[in-house]
Structures are given as structure tokens and as C-alpha cells.
Amino acid sequence: MDILGISCFYHDAAAALLRDGQLIAAAEEERFSRIKHDFGFPHHAIRYCLEAGGIRGNDLDYAVFFEKPFRKFDRILMTVLQTYPQSWKVFRESMITWMLDKLWVGSTLESELGISKDKVLFSDHHLSHAASAFLCSPFDEAAIMTVDGVGEWVTATWGAGRGNQIRLNKQLEFPHSLGLLYSAFTAFLGFEVNEGEYKVMGMAP
């Protein structure tokens, strides 16, 4: 079974190909485009992964996106409505990206890969984080904790992984977020959010 995982339209667009649970290839789009933190659709990364696997897009069993766009859009709308009119500028800027790309990522995957709608799947953001760590680890069983800025609504989770199963038992929801607090300090120090956090971590010691 060939499964293509895809991340795009936020930051660091990338693709990864799994065959029967084994990683065949993975790449970030910036390695090909030479655009740091390239967030566009990962055409080059996808092509690289498919070529490494010796297949075409329509040979895929599934293509999986790393989060659920409509649930995330729901959070953004709710947040904007609660803080209007102060939030209208942020809303205007974010809607450009959402209306052009993010809401239609499923259709984009169908057309770009030449696969049917039923082969395009969407994973919860934090489940994607948990899976990327646990399923690639050498452990058959492990405690799992994910801490992020924010996914759809969730900002942190904890649970356990056993075999090929992951169960996230509890979660912290937006606006409570350790990741966003870290981003606030990053911005306060004059660095770019979603990029400068690594510099702040390096400076911390």
C-alpha cells in the first residue's frame, strides 16, 4: 500500500511516501525551490517522492493531509468574530490565503495527483504530530505528548501509543497554548513567528 503524506499552505511544505508502513522518501519543498520555509503546494517534493517509489500519482492508495482545514477555518472564524472589529485586518489577510488555497486542498490533491476523492484523507493536526514521532520510533509502546501553537482547535495532547495504534486521551484547547506563548515572546524579541522560535531556543541557554 502506497500512502503519500502532504503538508502545505502554512509553513515548510513537504511530502513523504510510505509503502506498507516503511518510509520510501521524504522531502521539504524548500530544498527544491530554494525559498526558505516555502509554504506553497509541494510540487517538487511530491514528484521526488513518487519518483523514488517508482510510481505515479494515480497509483497511490491514499493521499493524506496533515490537518482538517474546515475545522481550522471554524476556529479562525470564531476567533475573528469574538474580537471584531479589532481583528478585521488579520481576517482580511488570512482570508486571501484561505479562499485561494487552504479550503480547496482536497480538490487540489485530486487534480494534481490524478486520484479520486475517496482516496484523499485528512488527519487531526496533533495526531499527525504524534504519529510522526511514535510510528517512526523503535518503541512498541510509549507515552505521547504533543505541544504546538495550535492545530484545528487543540494546542496540546497526551496519550499513548501501542503497536500501530495511537490513543490521545486528553487535550488542551485554544486559546490556552504554551506554543503561542512561546511565539509571543519570539515576536516580542523581534524575531519572525514560526521561524524565529529556533533562534530563541538557541539563545535560551
Is there a domain that residue 72 lies in?
yes
**Beta-carbon-side half-sphere exposure of residue 59 (alpha carbons within 13 Å):** 12
Q: CA-CA distances (angstroms) from residue 96 to 35, 81, 99?
A: 21, 17, 6
Residue 53: which CATH number?
A: 3.30.420.40
My answer on whether 71 and 96 are in the same domain is yes
State CA 17 to chain mean position distance. 15
Is residue 110 domain-shared with residue 143, that is, in the same domain? no
Domain assignment present for 131? no
Q: Are residues 30 and 82 in the same domain?
A: yes
Does 104 reside within a domain? yes
- For residue 132, being part of any structural domain is answered with no
Q: Which of 76, 100, 123 is the last residue of a domain?
A: 123
Who's near 25: CB < 8 A, 6+ residues apart?
16, 17, 48, 49, 52, 53
Are 12 and 96 found together in one domain? yes
Q: Which of 123, 158, 180 is the last residue of a domain?
A: 123
One domain for residues 73 and 15: yes
Residue/partner pairs of 132-140 with CB below 8 Å, 24 or more apart: 134/161, 134/166, 135/21, 135/161, 135/164, 135/166, 136/23
Residues 19 and 90 in one domain: yes
The range of the structural domain enclosing residue 46 comes to 1-123
Residue 90 lies in a domain: yes
State pTM to two decimals: 0.86
Grid cell 476567533 — which residue? 79
One domain for residues 103 and 189: no
Amino acid at 33: S
Cell of 159: 496519550
Last residue of a domain, one of 98, 123, 148: 123
Same domain, 116 and 143: no
What φ, ψ does residue 135 adopt, rounded to 5°? Answer: -70, -20
Total count of domains within the chain: 2
164 shares a domain with 71:
no
The per-residue pLDDT string of the chain (205 residues; one tens digit each, 9 = 90 and over) reads 999 999 999 889 999 999 998 999 999 999 999 999 899 999 999 999 999 999 999 999 999 999 999 999 898 888 888 888 888 887 887 787 787 788 899 999 999 999 999 999 999 999 999 999 999 899 999 999 999 999 999 999 999 999 999 999 999 999 999 999 999 999 999 998 888 888 888 887 8
Question: Which helix (H) or strand (E) element contains residue 12?
Answer: none
- The answer to whether residues 142 and 184 belong to one domain is yes
Contacts of 8 (CB under 8 A, 6+ apart): 14, 29, 39, 40, 41, 42, 105
Instruction: Give yes or no: residues 26 and 99 share one domain.
Output: yes
